[in-house]
């Protein structure tokens, strides 16, 4: 099996795994679980994370040039390995976003409005859950429930930033930075798409005008040709009528 075939076959199963991971992680954070419920959520998160790690290993094995693939995907390795340390588990969300973007992005990129709206909603939701997970246990934090976290994520991704809620932990500020960069990137997608649409419309209009002009020139050439044939035939007709 080739790496390309594996990636094509694993796209939707990985997407389903990412959704299961997101549900379990959201349940754990928003529900502030403890006891058996927390254990179940952690098991689900661990199993889904093992699937992500397995996908990385299979891609590494199937890569035509393994060492080249390895050192060009160091970030993927760090995202798989580092979240095994609990303080860095939020890096799991980076893989979640990457997996969902790989599949949903390919499916909806032709429908830019749907793609951008879905990506923005997912980014805001994931950031809200992540910042709540980081901030809730800090005594100085103002983000202590999911509603506040969702509002903070929304005003941050739109670069409004009212300042009524702000992260105080290092992880929370890291999430804020990533969310702001994500908001700018989404705005860039919208701008680039709009510019591309305008350029395409202008080019199509110019192409139509050029086609119409070529058609008119062709028709005029045909008319000139018929007129020339008429003029050429007149002398011969006059010569035939002479006695």
Do 10 and 28 belong together in one domain? yes
CA distance 66 to 59: 9
CA distance 144 to 241: 109
Answer positive or negative: Cα dihedral of 69, 73, 78, 79.
Answer: negative
Do 126 and 90 belong together in one domain? no
Domain that holds residue 80: 1-108
pLDDT tens-digit profile of 152-190?
Answer: 999 888 877 777 888 998 888 888 888 888 788 777 766
Of the pLDDT bands very low, low, confident and very high (cuts 50, 70, 90), residue 39 is very high
Looking at 108, 129, 153, which one is the last position of a domain? 108
Do 86 and 137 belong together in one domain? no
Q: Report, as an integer, the average pLDDT of 15-22.
A: 82
- The predicted pLDDT at position 88 comes to 42
Do 37 and 49 belong together in one domain? yes
Do 55 and 95 belong together in one domain? yes
| Residue 226 counted as domain residue | no
3-state class of 86 per DSSP? Answer: helix
Do 24 and 93 belong together in one domain? yes
pLDDT tens-digit profile of 194-227?
Answer: 677 677 777 777 776 777 777 778 777 777 777 7
pLDDT at 21 > cutoff 80: yes
pLDDT tens-digit profile of 46-96?
Answer: 888 888 888 889 988 998 888 888 888 877 777 677 654 444 444 455 555
Question: Residue 82's closest CA among 49, 38, 111?
Answer: 49
Do 99 and 32 belong together in one domain? yes
Residues 6+ apart with CB under 8 A from 165: 142, 143, 148, 149, 151, 152
CATH classification of the domain holding 132: 1.10.287.70
Do 102 and 126 belong together in one domain? no
| Residue 66 counted as domain residue | yes
CA distance 13 to 164: 40
CA distance 199 to 213: 21
CA distance 91 to 71: 19
Identify whether the C-beta of residue 165 lies closer than 8 Å to the C-beta of residue 140.
no
Residues 6+ apart with CB under 8 A from 150: 124, 125, 128
What is the pTM assigned to this prediction?
0.64
């Amino acid at each position: 099996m080739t790496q390309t075939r594996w990636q094509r076959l694993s796209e939707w199963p990985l997407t389903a795994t990412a959704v299961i991971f997101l549900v379990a992680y959201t349940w754990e954070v928003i529900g502030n679980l403890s006891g058996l419920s927390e254990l179940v959520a952690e098991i689900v998160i661990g199993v889904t994370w093992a699937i992500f790690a397995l996908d990385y290993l299979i891609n590494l094995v199937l890569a035509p040039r393994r060492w080249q693939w390895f050192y060009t995907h160091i970030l993927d390795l760090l995202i798989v390995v580092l979240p095994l340390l609990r303080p860095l588990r939020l890096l799991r969300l980076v893989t979640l976003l990457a997996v969902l973007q790989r599949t949903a992005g390919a499916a909806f990129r032709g429908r830019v409005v749907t793609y951008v709206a879905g990506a923005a909603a997912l980014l805001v939701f994931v950031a809200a859950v992540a910042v709540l997970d980081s901030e809730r246990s800090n005594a100085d934090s103002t983000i202590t429930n999911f509603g506040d976290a969702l509002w903070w994520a929304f005003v941050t991704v739109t670069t409004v930033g009212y300042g009524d809620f702000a992260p105080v932990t290092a992880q929370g500020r890291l999430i804020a930075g990533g969310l702001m960069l994500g908001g700018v990137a989404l705005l860039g997608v919208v701008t680039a798409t709009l510019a591309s649409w305008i350029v395409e419309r202008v080019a199509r209009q110019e192409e139509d005008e050029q086609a119409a002009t070529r058609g008119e020139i062709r028709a005029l050439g045909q008319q000139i040709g018929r007129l020339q044939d008429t003029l050429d035939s007149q002398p011969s007709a006059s010569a035939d009528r002479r006695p």
